[in-house]
Amino acid sequence: MRFTRKVDRVSKKRYRSMEVIPGCNRREFVKAVGVGSAAASALVLAGPTFGQSPTPPPVIETNIAEFQKAPRTARSLPGPFPGKVVKVTDTRAVVNEKFDAKVIDEMVQKGITTLTGKNLKDSFRLLIDPRDVVGIKVNPVGPPLINTRPELADAVIKWLVDNGVPKSNIIIWDRFDYMLKDAGFTKERFPGIALEGLQTMDEAGNTWRGPDGKHLSINNFDPDVYYEAKGAVWTSDRNQKSEDGYLNQHVFNGDRSFFGKLVTKKLTRIINLAAYKNTGQAISMATKNMGYGAICNTGRLHAGLSLKVNTEVLAAPVLRDKLALNITDGLRAQYDGGPDKDAQFVYDNHALYFATDPFALDMMCHQELTAKRKEKGVNVNDNPQFTEYLRYAESLGIGVVNPDKMQVVKV
């Protein structure tokens, strides 16, 4: 089997979540091609163009109207601070590739209190209830260079526990369970904290299928709660629906991308810890961490809907009404080659970004990262298609991204 990478950094960066070669253990595959190599990047990331189509994709009908009909609550997006983003910078956080947990904890405290204008205890009461079951959504893609840092999760957990949330009510989660371990999110590292992935492989890490040929994760998804995209199709050049690559992304066939039962039935509040990275001319941060991380059947969504998914999935009541806080981990950042790691574009950014409004957060970070790309000589396309999904969120009433209405506070 031959894999090649053809990349036009201006307009053809491509994305696919981790894929496993049939008959090849995932760990053996990573070892064989070499972590961080161009070959690894080609297999992991090659796939449907993500939000970079040279021509507008055909209009795909979704069930966004049904999401909009659901009554909103006091907890609904954009939260109590629409349009407000706080950036906390401390150069002590990362020194000689070592992350200082104490400094990161101080940054989290400063970010939360600056965002809310209250002390840590009152900030907690504003955003979380001690009886909540809190899910901490991390981004484990690209370790150890460009993923949510465990030290950041430590600081958030400390804030929750100090204010009355028992560890038994805190769950670190992602879509893929094996990625959590690869990024340092293990039971040994986080004693007393549950770790869950919506999708899993067998114990040997060889296949997504059970003995019956069906995806092992079918029962992890809620058949009653879904994002529907009629006619969106899988456009991979490896299109056989029997392949593990297809099952990796889709779990089911059909037009519906089901939400994980963890999200629909167990969690009552969610804290979103995104990583700071690009995906082609766009970014892969707060909204994408949730939009493509809470549902299955995503491979077919990239070509026809791409960035729009980030908005419409977050408009679903199961996320819209549960997402309490967003922190983008920009301690280390990547300005090109994303969303997986590419060492030549990684730099120490020493910053954390805070918002209850993930769309305002992404708009601020998009502008900042675009400026960094220009500074580094990357050919930047300023076409508004790369931020249209954020303005779309404002039209839906779940975010504020108009510069005249946004407030950016730098500490």
Residue with tokens 């981790």: 18
In a domain, 212, yes or no: yes
Q: Determine the Cα–Cα distance for residues 279 and 300; give it in Å rounded to an integer.
A: 17
In a domain, 47, yes or no: no
In a domain, 55, yes or no: no
> What pLDDT sits at residue 44?
32
**269: alpha, beta or left? (left if phi > 0; alpha if psi -120 to 50):** beta
What mean pLDDT do residues 249-260 have? 91
pLDDT at position 226 over 80: yes
Q: From edge to edge, which strands make up the β-sheet containing 170-176?
A: 194-199, 170-176, 134-138, 269-276, 323-334, 346-355, 84-89, 407-410
| CA angle, 112 then 116 then 121, to 5° | 70
Q: Is the peptide bond before 78 cis (omega within 30 degrees of 0)?
A: yes
Reported as a pLDDT band with limits 50, 70 and 90, residue 35 is very low
In a domain, 42, yes or no: no
Mean of pLDDT over the chain: 86
> What pLDDT sits at residue 43?
28
pLDDT at position 241 over 90: no
pLDDT digits (tens, 9 = 90+) for 160-187: 999 999 999 999 999 999 999 999 999 9
pLDDT digits (tens, 9 = 90+) for 351-395: 999 999 999 999 999 999 999 999 999 999 999 999 999 999 999
pLDDT digits (tens, 9 = 90+) for 384-409: 999 999 999 999 999 999 999 999 99
Q: Determine the Cα–Cα distance for residues 325 and 155; give it in Å rounded to an integer.
A: 14
> What pLDDT sits at residue 250?
87
In a domain, 11, yes or no: no
SS3 403: coil
CA 356 from centre of chain: 15
In a domain, 33, yes or no: no
Closest among 386, 382, 364 to 374, alpha carbons compared: 382
CB 177 within 8 A of CB 200: yes
Q: Determine the Cα–Cα distance for residues 139 and 45; give it in Å rounded to an integer.
A: 15
* Those residues with Cβ within 8 angstroms of residue 69's Cβ, 6 or more apart along the chain or in another chain: none
61-70, 199-208, 322-331, 399-408: the lowest-pLDDT one: 199-208
In a domain, 26, yes or no: no
> What pLDDT sits at residue 236?
62
Percent of the chain with pLDDT over 90: 74
Q: Determine the Cα–Cα distance for residues 131 and 69; give it in Å rounded to an integer.
A: 28
Q: Sign of the C-alpha dihedral, residues 72, 77, 80, 81?
A: negative
Bridge partners, residue 407, by sequence: 84
> What pLDDT sits at residue 183?
96
**In which domain, by residue range, is 390 found?**
62-410
Percent of the chain with pLDDT over 70: 83
CA distances from 221 to 207, 211, 383 (A): 18, 19, 36
> What pLDDT sits at residue 53?
53
pLDDT digits (tens, 9 = 90+) for 299-328: 889 888 999 999 999 999 999 999 999 999
| CA angle, 45 then 49 then 53, to 5° | 160
> What pLDDT sits at residue 372?
97
> What pLDDT sits at residue 40?
31
CA 347 from centre of chain: 20
In a domain, 87, yes or no: yes
- Extended beta strands in 221-322, E state: 221-228, 256-260, 269-276, 278-279, 282-283
* Those residues with Cβ within 8 angstroms of residue 195's Cβ, 6 or more apart along the chain or in another chain: 171, 172, 173, 177, 180, 185, 186, 187
- Structural domains in the chain (count): 1
Reported as a pLDDT band with limits 50, 70 and 90, residue 262 is very high
CB 338 within 8 A of CB 275: no
Q: Determine the Cα–Cα distance for residues 302 and 249; give it in Å rounded to an integer.
A: 11
* Those residues with Cβ within 8 angstroms of residue 162's Cβ, 6 or more apart along the chain or in another chain: 120
Q: Which residue has the higher pLDDT, 370 or 205?
A: 370
Other Cβ atoms within 10 Å of 125 Cβ, number = 14
Q: Determine the Cα–Cα distance for residues 173 and 260; give it in Å rounded to an integer.
A: 11
CA 306 from centre of chain: 14
Q: Determine the Cα–Cα distance for residues 18 and 143; give it in Å rounded to an integer.
A: 13
Token digits of residue 13 = 């960066």
